[in-house]
């Protein structure tokens, strides 16, 4: 059994992480921290976990995280980097679900997150946790940066094309839509029912924090810098991300076969038959990315459709997948949930 602590379990990614770990055959949940809710039983805040999580939130100072083998940070950006060094020094491995260790350059971090990085010495060893690319490195990671939700959907949709060198890396477009839960479990006007329901809008067009993360990952695969236009949208649904990706073809190949072969042995990527249109409902609650490849009118632009659940493959599910790899377990352990329909 893996002794596990969770820092910050009161948000949507936190409760999703608890849902998955409570069903995991090798997870031994020792502590869940929350300064604000210390003393409250977890199942009082989240009745869905009644009978599955028999713990109360505790103060970080009382959590004895240094006795855990693994600590998940399900916290806002900027928290994990304050505490990571001490835990790593104590021999604890870390999976951060926020952005603290995703960007390799501390100057880029500061530009997009507006504060200096508190643990730049750990950025060099932090492993970016996209299993479909970095599985070998993830095995030995002490600090694991769990990818963002948009970056997961976008990268998985474009990686086969860039690896094969059959599209123009300087002209990539990602038109992505997310459910409201992507904004987190906090009171904000734009996420109110009366604001988000029956509505559809773009945001972050001049620049979104996930843009440098996506470019960094795609450039590493392509071997050259990439040009990416990324436009996120908020949709009137709770869960899900739908990314419509555009790439200009530079070399002819069988694109359907390319994707099928690239992801043939990936347990959590499903390449659909030619002509299919994946929808977010088909992955709701599951740690799965579904992809379809199109070439409209036989033209010079390839369109890739990529869907995930932002809270599962886009956050907590991918974190558990990474935990399984780090501890030498079956990668699918605790992640056999079938998508919820309707």
Active centre residues (catalytic): 149
What is the predicted pLDDT for the residue at 20? 98
Looking at every residue in the chain, the average pLDDT score rounds to 96
Cα distances from 115 to residues 82, 102, 106, 112, in angstroms, run: 12, 15, 10, 8
Extract the tokens encoding 64: 């004895």
The Cα 49–Cα 333 span in angstroms is 19
Q: By the 8 A CB rule, do 263 and 155 touch? A: no
246: alpha, beta or left, given left = phi > 0 and alpha = psi -120 to 50?
A: beta
Tokens 């490195």 appear where? Answer: 137
What is the predicted pLDDT for the residue at 190? 82
| Helix and strand counts by DSSP (H, E) for the chain | 11, 14
Q: Indicate the CATH number for domain 2-125.
A: 3.40.50.720
Fold of 150-310: Dihydrodipicolinate Reductase; domain 2 (3.30.360)
Low-confidence ranges of the chain (pLDDT < 70): none
What is the predicted pLDDT for the residue at 191? 84
All CATH 3.30.360.10 domain ranges of the chain, comma separated, are 150-310
| Cα angle value 267/128/222 (rounded, 5°) | 85
* pLDDT (tens digit per residue) in 21-46: 999 999 999 999 999 999 999 999 99
Q: By the 8 A CB rule, do 131 and 288 touch? A: no
All CATH 3.40.50.720 domain ranges of the chain, comma separated, are 2-125
The Cα 319–Cα 335 span in angstroms is 11
Q: By the 8 A CB rule, do 245 and 303 touch? A: yes
What is the predicted pLDDT for the residue at 335? 98
């Amino acid at each position: 059994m893996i002794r596990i602590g969770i820092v910050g379990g009161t948000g949507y990614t936190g409760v999703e992480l608890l849902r998955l770990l409570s069903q995991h055959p090798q997870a031994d949940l020792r502590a869940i921290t929350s300064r604000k809710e210390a003393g409250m039983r977890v199942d009082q805040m989240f009745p869905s976990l009644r009978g599955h999580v028999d713990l109360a939130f505790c103060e970080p100072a009382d959590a004895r995280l240094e006795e855990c083998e693994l600590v998940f940070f399900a916290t806002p950006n900027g928290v994990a980097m304050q505490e990571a060094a001490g835990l790593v020094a104590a021999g604890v491995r870390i999976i951060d679900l926020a952005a603290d260790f995703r960007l390799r350059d501390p100057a880029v971090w500061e530009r997009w997150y507006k504060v200096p990085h508190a643990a730049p010495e750990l950025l060099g060893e932090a492993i970016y946790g996209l299993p479909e690319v970095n599985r070998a490195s993830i095995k030995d990671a002490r600090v694991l940066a769990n990818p963002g939700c948009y970056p997961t959907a976008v990268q998985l949709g474009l990686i086969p094309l860039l690896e094969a060198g059959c599209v123009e890396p300087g002209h990539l477009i990602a038109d992505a839509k997310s459910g409201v839960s992507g904004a987190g479990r906090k009171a904000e006007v734009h996420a109110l029912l009366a604001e988000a329901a029956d509505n559809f809008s773009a945001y972050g067009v001049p620049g979104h924090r996930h843009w440098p993360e996506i470019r960094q990952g795609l450039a590493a695969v392509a071997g050259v810098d990439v040009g990416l236009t990324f436009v996120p949208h908020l949709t009137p649904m709770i869960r899900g991300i739908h990314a419509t990706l555009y790439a200009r073809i530079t070399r002819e190949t069988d694109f359907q076969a390319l994707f099928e072969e690239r992801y043939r042995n990936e347990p959590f990527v499903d390449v659909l038959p030619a002509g299919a249109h994946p929808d977010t409902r088909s992955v709701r609650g599951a740690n799965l990315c579904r992809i379809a490849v199109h070439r409209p009118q036989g033209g010079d632009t390839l369109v890739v459709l990529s869907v995930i659940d932002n809270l599962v493959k886009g956050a907590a599910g991918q974190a558990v997948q990474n935990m399984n790899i780090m501890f030498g377990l079956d990668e699918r352990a605790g992640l056999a949930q079938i998508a919820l329909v309707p």
